[in-house]
Amino acid sequence: MTADVMTPENAAADSMARRRAGWMIVARKELADHLLSWRFVILVLVLGLAAVVPLYFAADAIRSVASQINDTRAVFLALFVVPPSTGITLPPVYGFVGIVGPLLGVAFAFDAINSERADGTLPRLLSQPIYRDDVINGKFAAGLAVITIALFSVVLVISGFGIVRLGVVPALSEVFRLAAWFVLAVVWIAFWLAFGLVLSVIIRRAATAALIGFGTWLLVAIFGQIIVSLVAGVLAPVATATSVDQAVSLQALSDTIQRFLPLTLYQEGARVLLNPTVTTVSTPVTVSQLQQYQQQVPSLLSLDQSILLVWPHFVILIALTVVFFAIAYIRFMRQEVRA
């Protein structure tokens, strides 16, 4: 018999195999724990109610749209873009997902690392034959998978409600638009998952991390628009404009300031993807551009045109997610873990 010789090529292949297997093992374990937890059930119910409640109140408006169906209206997408017809102003389904969805990201990440440290299981986990970064990579992958499953379930419920209750059947182009919005929503919630992971790595107590995470969510969801509007009112006071050119320029600057809020990026992107009649997200900066915009003939954008229109929104949200995950990754790799 000939003994196996460990060549550099074999060692490199074995290292790559262990690296691939390590984070997948952690991800499978975390995913199973998430799916079997009450946290997952409660958050899916909250997200589902936040999406179905506005849909229920918007049913009459959607029926009126469906009764006038023609070849130029994306009626099925009205399930997600028509606001509820109630006495108070409520956002449509995509708006509720944008506000409530970050709960999923924060809830599945705020105790990902600090709970392991508090329970004393982190040293035992790192003593296993896996790389250290497999832990944080696997936990992020599991959280992202749970987010995708939860959001996909909600979309299926809404679609089933529209097909069975309202008799609205989607066309193929509408399915593709819905899939594009679904990807945007997952990226939006993944941004909050990465933010929660940063809190879990930096803050040692899970309760403190949860308080900061949910407090930040409340600040962005409820007071974020107010704060950004106040800043825009100071830096770009449209009401004080002395000419039409100045008013148009200040309005464009105000809209740019509004986009510093990540929620604005998600809402603009969702509105363009789910409504093919929306043909622009930018504000004219000159009077001539404003006149050209007002003289445009109403038309429908194709899906690829809509994606090109909101591609910067995708890029910015993905970049923010990568930045927060990189902060959590680097900080976790440099932390000292004692038994």
* For range 12-38, the mean pLDDT: 75
d(CA 104, CA 63): 31
Q: What is the model's pLDDT at position 288?
A: 47
33 within domain boundaries: yes
Which residue range(s) make up the domain with 208? 13-220+307-334
246 within domain boundaries: no
d(CA 224, CA 234): 16
Structurally, the chain folds into a number of domains equal to 1
Residue 68 — pLDDT band, cuts 50, 70, 90? Answer: low
Q: What is the model's pLDDT at position 290?
A: 45
Specify whether the CB–CB gap between 293 and 251 falls below 8 A.
Answer: no
Mean per-residue pLDDT of the chain: 78
d(CA 206, CA 203): 7
Specify whether the CB–CB gap between 51 and 93 falls below 8 A.
Answer: yes
Q: What is the model's pLDDT at position 242?
A: 60
| Structure tokens, 152 | 């996909």
**What is the length of the chain?**
339
244 within domain boundaries: no
Specify whether the CB–CB gap between 298 and 277 falls below 8 A.
Answer: yes
pLDDT higher for 88 or 186?
Answer: 186
Angle at 314 between CA 311 and CA 317, to 5 degrees: 150
Specify whether the CB–CB gap between 150 and 47 falls below 8 A.
Answer: yes
Res. 137: pLDDT tops 70:
yes
pLDDT higher for 111 or 3?
Answer: 111
5 within domain boundaries: no
273 within domain boundaries: no
Range with the lowest mean pLDDT among 43-57, 297-311, 314-328?
A: 43-57
Q: What is the model's pLDDT at position 224?
A: 75
| Structure tokens, 195 | 């933010």
The letter for the amino acid at 144 is: L
Q: What is the model's pLDDT at position 294?
A: 47
Q: What is the model's pLDDT at position 212?
A: 92
Angle at 139 between CA 154 and CA 180, to 5 degrees: 35
129 within domain boundaries: yes
Specify whether the CB–CB gap between 320 and 195 falls below 8 A.
Answer: no
| Structure tokens, 90 | 């409520």
Q: What is the model's pLDDT at position 49?
A: 78
Q: What are phi and psi of 85, to 5 degrees?
A: -95, 75
8 within domain boundaries: no
239 within domain boundaries: no
What percent helix, strand, coil does the chain show, rounded to 5?
75, 0, 25
Residues sharing a CB contact under 8 Å with residue 300, sequence separation 6 or more, in sequence order: 72, 276, 277
Q: Over the stretch 185-241, which tens digit does the pLDDT of each residue have?
A: 999 999 999 999 999 999 988 889 989 998 998 888 777 777 777 776 666 666 565
84: three-class secondary structure by DSSP: coil
Res. 170: pLDDT tops 70:
yes
* For range 100-109, the mean pLDDT: 88
Q: What is the model's pLDDT at position 247?
A: 62
Residue 44 — pLDDT band, cuts 50, 70, 90? Answer: confident
Q: What is the model's pLDDT at position 164?
A: 78
From 139, 223, 222, 147, select the one nearest 185 (Cα to Cα).
Answer: 147
From 157, 140, 38, 37, select the one nearest 97 (Cα to Cα).
Answer: 157
